[in-house]
A and B are shown apart, each in its own frame.
Chain A
Amino acid sequence: MSAVLRGLVLSGGRSTRMQRDKALLDYAGQTQLERAVSLLQAVTDNVSVSVRPDQVDDPLRARFAQVVDGPDVQGPAAGILAAQQADPTAAWLVLACDLPMLDATTLAVLVAGRDPSRQATAFRSSHDGLPEPLCAIWEPASGPALLQFVAGGRNCPRKFLLQHDTLLLDQPNPEALDNVNTPDELRAARQGLDAAATRTLRVQYFALLRDQAGRAEESLSTTATTASELYTELAARHGFTLAEGSLKVAINTEFANWSQPLAAGDTVVFIPPVAGG
């Protein structure tokens, strides 16, 4: 019988390269820590957050059940060991909190592919083929071995998995475990996630466009990120005959650039050639 699966989000990293606490970084309005916890809640019974002793009272971290690092170990191994000591009978699905691309499918594949008779189940990195220790299931049997490994002066969880009985799975989504360590990587990740997100917009139509759309306004969900992309989408849907080059565009009752990013809730008006007077 396999051990009960608990979840652990590692949030004790120093975020040195990012220069701010990675757990607090937000994507589409949700902090990384909250997002990691909710992804784990879908596949495990009980989720805790791994913290350093000096993070216990941090308001974001205080909202979750905590496992506090012991004093003598550095890095992510400290969090994994502390969890194993807190509940030696459980298997721990350990997750870094800085994986903004992580998706529910990836975790579901990990849990479905788990082999409780091995010491761990992990993904083979899509980048270098090595085990990914921070999105992995650590079985109870790995506890004493990890303690011994750390006692021997080593603390790299990837090396531990390489040297022990680890089942390696292929990632269903090659980008899911890309982590975000620097401000540049953060910007790229946010852009990627924003681009994938749909937003709800209101569009008002006037003159010829109203006639052709058959309505004065509509509310719609779109993946278009700019007014230009939105016009292309709507022109195809409604059969608009006016070329984008003959129109102007207004966002929230002010003239706007065609490449201005659209935000959820924006009201967009495409302005056909005007004819006052």
Chain B
Amino acid sequence: MSVFRFTQQAIDGTALRQELADLYCGGYASFEGWVRNHNEGHAVTRLSYEAFEPLGIKEGERIVAEAIARFGVTRALCVHRVGDLQLGDVAVWVGASAAHRDEAFKACRFIIDEVKHRVPIWKQEHYVNGTSGWVNCERCAADAHTHDHADHADHDHGHRHL
């Protein structure tokens, strides 16, 4: 199984944790991203994720490989949901096991940060009033009409603002 996967099904962290079990490892850390009921002042009722999966898997596998090389963790894994999600669902799961806790924590943090910025996944928020919006896209689209590219550097074009 790939160390980076997309799934339409509910993520089961307990099952995924078993894939990282290793008697060499003294520490395991995991991170779960959950669907929350608000974003930037808007009440959110549900989310949809979609991904360009063939490239997303390649880029996700590169990120996990980078984390293993960089922090020396023994195993690492990331699974991301696609499709329609309800409030409280797990949207993304990251886990890492290592000889010591520090590497495991750092690898998890690195993987979730890089996945958010690099993997072609898009999030559509559905709001209480029945409207919806693509997170990060609508703001950029609005900015495209009022700023040139130099100004874009100001709001960090790696899209790290959320």
Contacts and interface: CB of A to CB of B under 8 A. Distances in A.
A273 interface: yes
Contacts of A207: 50, 122, 124, 134, 137
Interface in B107-162: 112, 115-124, 134-138, 140-145, 149, 152, 157, 159, 162
A3 B130 CA distance: 80
A272 B54 CA distance: 16
A273 B136 CA distance: 6
A73 interface: no
Interface stretch (A117-125, A133-141, A243-251): A243-251
Nearest to B140: A246
B92 interface: yes
Contact of B136 (A211, A245, A274): A274
Interface string A227-267: 00000000000000111011010100111000000000000
Contacts of B141: 208, 241-242, 246
A269 interface: yes
Given A253-B58, A271-B52, A275-B135, A246 B144 contact: yes
B46 interface: no
A250 B159 contact: no
Contacts of B118: 274
B124 A276 contact: no
A207 B59 CA distance: 18
Given A245-B152, A245-B157, A206 B116 contact: no
Q: Max chain A CB contacts within 10 Å: which of B80, B140, B157, B159? A: B140
Nearest to B49: A276
A204 interface: yes
A269 B120 CA distance: 10
B137 A245 contact: no
Contacts of A242: 137, 140-141, 144
B33 interface: yes
A241 B123 contact: no
Interface in A106-164: none
Contact of B149 (A241, A245, A248): A245
Contacts of A273: 136-137, 140, 159
A277 interface: yes
A246 B139 CA distance: 10
Interface string B63-90: 0000000000000000010000000000
Q: Which of A207, A245, A246 has the most B CB atoms < 10 Å from its CB?
A: A207
Given A274-B121, A274-B159, A241 B112 contact: no
A243 B145 CA distance: 8
A243 B136 contact: no
A242 B142 CA distance: 8
Contacts of B91: 277
B134 A275 contact: yes
B137 A206 contact: no
A276 B162 contact: no
A171 B59 CA distance: 55
A202 to B, nearest CB: 13
Contact of B52 (A211, A243, A250): A250
Contacts of B49: 276
B43 interface: no
A255 B122 contact: no
Contact of B92 (A245, A246, A277): A277
Nearest to A253: B54
Given A245-B152, A253-B55, A276 B138 contact: no
B107 to A, nearest CB: 16
A204 B52 CA distance: 9
Interface of B: 33, 49-52, 54-55, 58-59, 80, 91-92, 112, 115-124, 134-138, 140-145, 149, 152, 157, 159, 162
11 contacts: A206-B50, A206-B120, A206-B122, A208-B138, A242-B137, A246-B152, A250-B52, A272-B136, A273-B140, A275-B116, A276-B49
